[in-house]
Amino acid sequence: MTQEALVTPHATQGPLTTETGAPVGDNQNSETAGAGGPVLVQDQLLLEKLAHFNRERIPERIVHARGAGAYGTFTLTRDVSQWTRAKFLSEVGKQTETFLRFSTVAGNLGSADAVRDPRGFALKFYTEEGNYDLVGNNTPVFFIKDAIKFPDFIHTQKRDPYTGSQEADNVWDFWGLSPESTHQVTWLFGDRGIPASFRHMNGYGSHTYQWNNAAGEAFWVKYHFKTDQGIKNLGAEEAARLAGVDPDSHQRDLRESIERGEFPSWTVQIQVMPAADAANYRFNPFDLTKVWPHEDYPPVEIGKLELNRNPENIFAEVEQSTFSPANFVPGIGPSPDKMLQGRLFAYGDAHRYRVGINADHLPVNRPHAAEANTNYRDGVLYDGRHKGAKNYEPNSFGGPFQTDQPLWKSTQVSGATGNHPAPSHAEDDDFVQPGNLYRQMTEDEKGRLIENLAGFISQVSRDDIAERAVNNFRRADGDFGKRLEAAVQALRA
């Protein structure tokens, strides 16, 4: 059934348009260079939506507003030179300074830590080739697979423009109409939906990235950060109590553990896919709503991440810290993941708006093991570092010059430009992986998942929204849907 068929009975405002009134032909798929190719700058609807969305609040982050952070060290424990030429990954035992910011996603700056919400896991490596930012979450998947839908998704999680509150109708209406969200929603309402602390959860790069080696070979890579403290979670009742008694619980736990010398750490793993495998893999390997099964690409341990120093000023170092997945170093680059492609623009744009055009001059953001050498001048926070140097390139006054060496290997594209959905693979499906996740759970875990979902779905005002929401889980697993339907009906009765 098409989206139009699902929503037409309640549509009353006419066609969706751009800011200038032009009708929108496709609000589901961003425009790419052929099916599966990178997103095009000429997609002005995508850029308009992301740019407008980034400017909806000031000065707080729109998402990931509430956060905590710490400095640490990444130590390479395995030779990975066969996959990447990145210098900070060039020698076993090599250490790189890092800064890691944890966050909740939907809440504002004054919200509580112990809530059911994904956790941001944003990691900055201060490498000798410049800063490398890996911006992920504590889940390996996400709710949507195309950045053009991100502003719409977050609007459903934030306060309704009329009621001023988060509304179950908005949340489940969007999730029900977006079956791709079923996998992440199953994660979110399971036991790992409320971590006991930032130290007791995993982190994931989530997206697929490109690694490329000195020989010019390319590989697709996923990152995993496995907590050495063990996974610990909070039940719904315990979390509600803690959020009221101590809204700063996670931030305090992180700070005090480092003060005690109990430095939290994570074992770093990667999954590696030869670039040639991607085209014929059984599902789209760049789909952010899916994981790569470990039996297909086993995780390989490559390092250890340890946090060992607290920031001295939360505003200067946590609130003003900026991360962008577009901050790559030689040997690492993007993939055709359409969510990642949108974030390459949106994160930097958000920081330039929120903190200022020279946010990268701040101590927490500037390179620590390299020197920034640009022709950018002036603007808010400009510190005059360039003095009287010329501000153009090329020049004959000893100015900075291009290296003629791209950071990553180019990828082949073909086909006509247009608003393409992702290429279809043999086993592409929105419901196989959430069904597998459900079936891996114990009976107790399934019971808590059903209870958590039913409690929220039962709050919607319309039966059709509730039925559509339940049906997505039924399509993932028959038992899942049957038990959830009964639980929702009991609560709504």
pLDDT in tens, 129-182: 999 999 999 999 999 999 999 999 999 999 999 999 999 999 999 999 999 999
pLDDT at 143: 97
pLDDT < 70 positions in the chain: 1-12, 57-58
Tell me which amino acid residue 66 is: R
The owner of tokens 């495998």 is 277
Tell me which amino acid residue 389 is: A
Distance in angstroms (rounded) separating the CA atoms of residues 324 and 334:
12
The token pair at 362 is 């701040």
Among 242, 169, 126, which Cα is nearest to 464's? 169
The count of other CB atoms within 10 Å of the CB of residue 401 is 10
Q: Own/partner pairs for 308-311, CB < 8 Å, 24+ apart?
A: 308/70, 308/71, 308/72, 308/73, 308/258, 308/263, 309/70, 309/71, 309/72, 309/258, 310/70, 310/71, 310/255, 310/258, 310/259, 311/69, 311/70, 311/71, 311/364
Distance in angstroms (rounded) separating the CA atoms of residues 284 and 273:
12
Distance in angstroms (rounded) separating the CA atoms of residues 209 and 482:
38
The token pair at 316 is 């200067």
Q: Which of 54, 137, 202, 365 is catalytic?
A: 137
Q: List alpha helices for 355-415, DSSP H.
A: none
Tell me which amino acid residue 407 is: L
Q: Own/partner pairs for 45-52, CB < 8 Å, 24+ apart?
A: 45/18, 45/148, 46/147, 46/148, 46/342, 47/345, 48/18, 48/19, 49/148, 49/151, 50/147, 50/150, 50/151, 50/342, 50/345, 50/346, 50/349, 51/349, 52/19, 52/151
Q: List alpha helices for 223-269, DSSP H.
A: 236-245, 249-259
Residue 439 parent element (H or E): helix 432-440
Prior bond to 161 cis, omega within 30?
A: no
Distance in angstroms (rounded) separating the CA atoms of residues 177 and 472:
9
Q: What angle do CA 419, 421, 422 make, to 5 degrees?
A: 130
pLDDT at 250: 97
Distance in angstroms (rounded) separating the CA atoms of residues 132 and 186:
31
Q: In the 3-class helix/strand/coil scheme, how is 300-365 assigned residue by residue?
A: EEEEEEEEEECCCCHHHHHHCCCCCCCCCCCCEECCCCHHHHHHHHHHHHHHHHHCCCCHHHCCCC
Among 229, 230, 212, which Cα is nearest to 221's? 212
**Backbone phi, then psi, for 69, in 5-degree steps?**
-150, 165
Q: List alpha helices for 113-180, DSSP H.
A: 150-157, 168-177
Residues sharing a CB contact under 8 Å with residue 462, sequence separation 6 or more, in sequence order: 169
Distance in angstroms (rounded) separating the CA atoms of residues 38 and 283:
18
213 is annotated as an active-site residue: no
pLDDT in tens, 372-402: 888 888 988 888 988 999 888 888 988 888 8
27 is annotated as an active-site residue: no
pLDDT at 1: 43
Q: Which of 29, 64, 365, 419 is catalytic?
A: 64
The count of other CB atoms within 10 Å of the CB of residue 135 is 22
Q: Under a CB-based contact definition with an 8 Å cutoff, are residues 457 and 468 in contact?
A: no
Length of the chain in residues, anyone?
A: 493
The token pair at 41 is 């700058």
pLDDT at 168: 97
